[in-house]
Amino acid sequence: MRVQRFTAYTVTLVLTLSAAVAQDATPAAQRRQEIDSSAQATLDSLFKSNTNAKTLYDKAAGYAVFTATKAGFFISGGGGTGVVVNKETGKRTYMRMGLGGIGLGIGAQRYGLVMMFETTGHLDKFAAGGWDSSATAEAVAAKEGVAARSSFMDGIALFQVSEKGLMAQADVTGTKFWVIDDLN
């Protein structure tokens, strides 16, 4: 009787662990892992290029990192995906961003957008989704490929990290962020 019970428990444990491992291999889990890896690479690049960013990160309640592509010829548009992280709880919220605007720019650029939130209130409001920027957050170029502001403005600090070249402005005007339901 004890051997049968032991065998039943062992089989149940193996099946449970197998299901957990299989669940991690789902397309959604793989996509979350890709987003997390990209976010970490962007943060590493930012911290390497800008010591002030690390200081603000240490003070922040949480952060968001997006990988975006923007293109335009007088009218610009683009989008990307990213993750919002509450540093205290470790909770991750996966989101999309879409952007559009009118300006004098011509061309295309892929970049990382890092947002640091001074308080959990600012973080939670953003992570709830539907946040729509209505003002430009300007940044002075600190080093090649990194645009940065030196402090929180209205509870948020923005950094734009380009893969190539210098971006003199972290502009989130006309940018909308929303939660990706099937990744959360």
Helix axes 27-49, 51-59, angle to 10 degrees: 120
Residue 22 half-sphere exposure, CB side, CA atoms within 13 Å? 6
- Give residue 24's pLDDT: 58
- Give residue 44's pLDDT: 94
User: Tens digits of per-residue pLDDT, 127-137?
Assistant: 987 665 543 44
| Alpha-carbon dihedral sign for residues 85, 110, 178, 59 | positive
Q: Residue 184: count other Cβ atoms within 10 Å of its Cβ.
A: 14
Checking phi first, is residue 165 left (phi over 0); if not, alpha (psi -120 to 50) or beta? left
- Give residue 75's pLDDT: 75
Three-class DSSP labels, 17-50:
HHHHHHHHCCHHHHHHHHHHHHHHHHHHHHHHHC
- Give residue 2's pLDDT: 53
- Give residue 29's pLDDT: 95
User: What tens-digit pLDDT sequence spans the chain (184 residues)?
Assistant: 554 444 444 434 444 444 444 455 799 999 999 999 999 999 999 998 888 889 999 999 999 999 988 877 767 788 899 999 999 999 999 999 988 877 666 677 788 999 999 999 999 999 987 665 543 444 333 344 444 445 677 788 888 888 653 344 445 557 888 999 999 8
Which residue, chain included where needed, has tokens 């004098």?
Answer: 104
- Give residue 11's pLDDT: 39
- Give residue 124's pLDDT: 92
